[in-house]
Structure 1
Amino acid sequence: MHTDATATELIANLYQFYAYESSDWEDEEVENDGRFYIHHAHLARYWQEPDWSAGLILVDGFIAGFLLVERSELPGIDAKEFADLFILRKYRRRGIGRALFQQLVCASGEPWVISLYRDDPLGMPFAQALLGELPSHWWRALPSPEPALLSYLLHCPRQ
């Protein structure tokens, strides 16, 4: 995990690709400067808040994407959240997302939340595949504050 301003800038830059890929189903528009909006104060929380982190995903020394982890803000849930995952197209379908999920969520032995949008054409199949590989008693759907959002609480035993 990087903790300096350069990592913040890198993830903010990569977030433009992430926003572009989701712009059709999230109905996002490009700002007047030709970029998608980034809430920089929220992004800064990944370096400031306890149990929040931002990390670059590297493959053979090259930047392949990013992962944002935060403390779940769902009422009554005390868990980390596998929040935003973005992998550049070149590096997809190599098992990177699955490996991150297994290393962080499954190997921790702690509760985690995974939230995703129903209309996300990449996130939904990814999450369904991951959940389908786990015993059903390791996870459960959570009530969501937003109808467009699905949230799951996972608690894998420590491996």
Structure 2
Amino acid sequence: MSITLHEVLQSEKDVLRNFYSLYLHDLSKFTSTLEISEEGYFEFDGFEKFWEVEGIVPYFIKLEERIIGFILLLERPFLKALNDFGINDIFILNKYKGKGLGREAVKQLFKEKPGKYFVMELIDNQPAVSFWKKLYSELDIQYEEKEDHIDDEPCLIQTFVV
């Protein structure tokens, strides 16, 4: 099984919008701030910025040729200080969770883009917290962690170098 990352083209944004709605649906279990729209899907107000702001880069995660998820990477010039990259969001379809495919995608990203990273999780999102801590252990990544409130949500923020 071969995992690849494919930068999402603007012509593919409707596909990403659908995946993003699924991601926000999953995330809504851990926060009270996400609500479904009257049209019946979860939407992110800043979605169009992915193609308007340099340094916000969405990638599809593909298994063979099938899209199974995405990573939203923040990089310079969007990031101004301290970190080279931030993994803002990562999502894998439920059918593919628990098979190590998300870890493979992140490992590939780290290989292609080494530098100083930050990752943020909602404290209540224990599956995400567990995912990252297992990955750090597996890759022998030393990280620093702090708690902070981002948009009034309690979060864990880890910083590390790969």
* TM-score range for the pair, normalised by the shorter chain length: 0.7 to 0.9
Residue deviations 1:58-117 (CA, integer Å, cap 9, x gap): 112222111111138788423211111110011112222111221223553311111111
Over 6 Å off, 4+ runs: 72-75
Q: CA, structure 1 residues 47+126, in 2 after alignment: closer, same or farther (shift >3 Å)?
A: same
Matching of residue 68 in structure 1 with residue 72 in structure 2: yes
1:101 maps to which residue?
106
Higher share in helix: 1
Which one-letter code corresponds to 2:102 in the other structure? G
Which position in structure 2 is the counterpart of 1:45? 49
Label 1:57 to 1:49 Cα distance change in 2 as closer, same or farther (>3 A).
Answer: same
- Find the partner of 1:16 among 14, 21, 31: 21
Question: As a proportion of its length, which structure holds more strand?
Answer: 2
Q: CA RMSD in A?
A: 2.4
Structure 1 residue 20 displacement after superposition: 1.3
Amino acid at match of 1:88: L
Code of the residue aligned with 2:17 in structure 1: it is: A
Question: Once structures 1 and 2 are overlaid, which stretch shifts more, 42-51 or 58-67?
Answer: 42-51
Unaligned runs of 5+ in 2: 1-6
Deviation of 1:150 (Å): 0.9
Q: What is the letter of the counterpart of residue 47 of structure 2?
A: L
The letter of the residue matching 2:30 is W
Q: Which has the higher contact order (CA 8 A, sep 6+)?
A: 2
**Which residue of structure 1 aligns with residue 119 of structure 2?**
114
Letter in 2 for 1:104: L
- Give 5+ residue unaligned stretches, structure 1: none
1:126 to 2:134 alignment: no
Deviation at 1:123, TM superposition (A): 0.6
Identity in percent: 20
Distance 1:90 1:77 in 2: 36
Match of 1:150 in 2: 156
Find the partner of 1:2 among 8, 12, 29: 8
